Structures are given as structure tokens and as C-alpha cells.
Chains A and B, each alone.
Chain A
Amino acid sequence: MNLSSLMTRGMARLGLPAALSLLSVLVFLPGRNFLESSMVRHMLVQYPLLMLCGALLAGGLSATLADRALVWEAQASNWNAYGMTGLFGTALGLALLMIPRVLDLALVNPWVESIKMTILVASGAAIYLSWRPAGWLVQGFFLGQVLPMMAVAGTLYESSPTRVCNAYLLNDQVLLGQLLVWIAAGTALAWLAALFRSLIRRSTVPAV
């Protein structure tokens, strides 16, 4: 049994329950309060975990409803050719959620908080459904948009002498800025490494 079919079976069995239980921890107090009490946890733990929920939800649903999912996927692919809509939407959503005011507003405005969470869950699902159809070119375009944006936001957070969020401490903001730059650089390197690996494999002539 290869890794891919193992993942499909795991997703069918665990995807939905895992997504729903993780979501209930993230959405309700005190889990939400704990993650949102620090700027680093808010952006670098809560954001990715909500996206993971979206990916698990999408994976779990498409594996559970495998027979019907094929028809849906065929219809959806018209609206999401090469995963472009999904990845473009994710890039836009992440750009919005990196505006410093969002972090402050999410703490005091329940509407902003729920829209933020919905965007993140939808982005996770969109990446899950769009990453493979996207191929290297669209993936590169997506990362070329998101990663520099992360690095720029990180540099601003790190170098700003004043706090950009009223609800968070300055040293928390500096640490978040540094981590954003490192994560952007790390993700770019990991993707490039995967790209080169694939190119080398493709160009290697099998020995006769």
C-alpha cells in the first residue's frame, strides 16, 4: 500500500472528526483566548491550525463522499481551473488577514472574528483542493505572491519602533516579524527543493 492511498484512507476515516474536534477547540473559549492572547500565537498558531481544519474538512468530505465527489470535482474544476481560483482567493485572504488592524478588530468585533475564521478555514480547504491541480507554475505564482508579502509584513512588524496592534506587546510583535521572515524563506526553499527534485527525476534517463 503506497503513501498516497494510505493518506486517502486516513483522511476518509479521520478527516472529518479531526477537523470538527480541532475546530471546536479553536472556536470556543478558552482555546481561542489562549491563542489570541499573544500576537505570535494568534498569527502563527491559530491561523495555520484553522487552515489545517479547512484542509481536513475538505479531505474528509471528499473522501467520505468519494462517489459523488467525482461529479462535484468535475463541476468545480470549471470554476477552479488549475487550482487558480482557490490559490488566488487564498492569497487575497491571507493578504487581508495580515493587515494589523484585523488582529485588533478580531478581539473586539465578533463579526470580524467569524469572518477571519471562515476565510482561514476556506483557505485551508482551497489549498487542499487546488494544490495538486495547480502544478508547479501556478504554485510558483501563488508562493511568489504570498511569501514576499509575508516577508515584507514580517520586516515591518520587526522594524516598527511602535506597536502596530494596540492589544499586543512590542517584543511579541518583533518576534512575530522575525518568525514570519524565517517561515517565508523556509517555505520558499522547501518548495524550490521539491521543484528541483522533481526536475532532476524527470530529466534522469533510466539505466537500461
Chain B
Amino acid sequence: MLKTAVASVCMAWAAYASAAWLTHDFQVWTAEGARRLEVALLPVATPAVQVQTPNGSSKPLRRLLADEQTVTIVDFIYTRCQTVCLALGSTYQQMQSSLQSARTTDAAARRVQLLSISFDMQRDDQQAMADYAARLNADAAIWHLVRVPDPSDLARLLADFQVVVVPSSQGDFEHNAALLVVDSRGRLVRIFDYADHQLALDYARYLAAVGSP
């Protein structure tokens, strides 16, 4: 009986240690929670991938994100999305108008930009991106839209930022939509729910004012 008790205690300890590792000391239970915590603890560098703007010009994503001055709030979208991205779209419109008014008085707000990256390579061509920007009244000085033309670049970007895209019915996608704050050195430093867009914006303006976290 003593041996049984010893074996049971050992297993309980092993299970406790495994659970503590899995949940980052019982703080998170989902992969999304773990992703957000890990990013806050250890920022993720933007990978060297090429992106394409709606006017067709290609440039490295790092040049957009790591100019040593601008803090960026990034989201991943597909333009035909009728659910989460629609909410993200209106969130971005609200953030854009907040930035437009803040820019007149606050220098830090002038160093915050918005970036939407499409992950639907097949259907989001240049025209679709331009239509999306026009539909949401994207102000080109604040809100940029890009697509990732190369499949391996896209896979790398999604993997590094831990964005998981799952195809659902009728050509739609479900994905872990969120607001990704990237500092002026091009490092993903914090992830916010899109419901917390004011917090994300305030944090981005704070980063722009003080530099890196």
C-alpha cells in the first residue's frame, strides 16, 4: 500500500509540473492566451518577408514596421470576411478617426500607424485590397493595407506571429483575430483583443512617446 501511495504521489507531482508548464503557472489555458503572454514576455521580431501594397509596389515588411520611429497596430484580415474582420474594420475606422484628431495636438500620435495584412492570397488581389481600403475610407497617411504575394512568406509570417487561419464553410476562414502592437524596431510586443482597441491605441501612443517597452 505504501508503494501505491508513493507511486500516486509521484504521478500527482508529474501532473502538477506538466500542468504548470502547459498553463504558464496556471495563468492561461488556451493557445491564444499563451501566445499573448509569450509575446509580452519575449517580443517577436518581424520576419523578412515581402509585402505588396494595393498600388502593386513590393517592399519588405520590416521596412514598413521597423523604421525606428513608428509604432504599428497590425491585424490580419481577408477582405470578403463578414464576421470578425468586419468588426476589425470598424475598430480600425474608429482608431483611424481617433488618430486623425489626436495628430493635430500630439506628436506621438503622428508616429502611430495602422496596418492590415491580408492572408487570403488567392482572392485578395490588388483590386480587392484597393476596394476594401476605399470601402472603409482608409486614410493612406495612417492606415496601410498590404497582401503577402509569396506563399512561403505568408506561412512564415503567420507562423512567427502565431496567427492560425482555419478554412471554414463556403470559402470563409476563422482566425485568431486580434490587434498586434509592433514597436518601432519591428518587434511584436503586445497583443490585444479587438474589443480593447482603445487600450491598444493608448499603448501604441505610449510606445511612440517613450520608445521601446
Contacts and interface: CB of A to CB of B under 8 A. Distances in A.
Among B8, B12, B35: residue with most chain A CB under 10 A: B8
A166 B164 contact: yes
**From DSSP, what is the main secondary structure of chain B's interface residues?**
helix
Contact of B11 (A78, A92, A101, A170): A92
Nearest to B7: A85
Interface string A162-190: 01111111100000000000000000000
B15 interface: yes
Contacts of B8: 84-85, 88-89
A99 B29 contact: yes
A167 B173 CA distance: 11
Contacts, number: 78
Contacts of A78: 3-4
**From DSSP, what is the main secondary structure of chain A's interface residues?**
helix
Contacts of B199: none
Nearest to A81: B4
A193 B15 CA distance: 32
Interface in A74-101: 78-82, 84-85, 88-89, 92-93, 95-96, 99-101
Given A78-B3, A89-B11, A101-B22, A166 B31 contact: yes
Nearest to A92: B15
B30 A79 contact: no
Interface residues on B, range: 20 to 34
A146 interface: no
Interface string B67-101: 00000000000000000000000000000000000
Contacts of A102: 22
B142 interface: no
Contacts of A163: 32, 174, 176
Contacts of A113: none
A121 B174 CA distance: 32
A164 B29 contact: yes
A179 B30 CA distance: 20
A105 interface: yes
A100 B176 CA distance: 15
B128 interface: no
A84 B15 contact: no
A201 to B, nearest CB: 29
23 contacts: A78-B4, A79-B3, A79-B4, A85-B8, A92-B12, A92-B15, A93-B15, A95-B19, A96-B22, A100-B29, A101-B22, A101-B31, A104-B30, A104-B31, A104-B164, A105-B31, A163-B32, A166-B32, A166-B162, A166-B164, A166-B166, A168-B166, A169-B166
Interface of A: 78-82, 84-85, 88-89, 92-93, 95-96, 99-102, 104-105, 163-170
Given A79-B7, A84-B4, A164-B30, 19 more contacts: A80-B4, A82-B4, A85-B11, A88-B12, A96-B15, A96-B19, A99-B29, A100-B29, A100-B30, A101-B22, A101-B23, A101-B31, A102-B22, A105-B22, A165-B30, A165-B31, A166-B35, A167-B166, A169-B168
Q: Which 7 A-B pairs have the closest CB atoms?
A: A104-B31, A166-B164, A92-B15, A81-B4, A85-B7, A89-B11, A166-B176
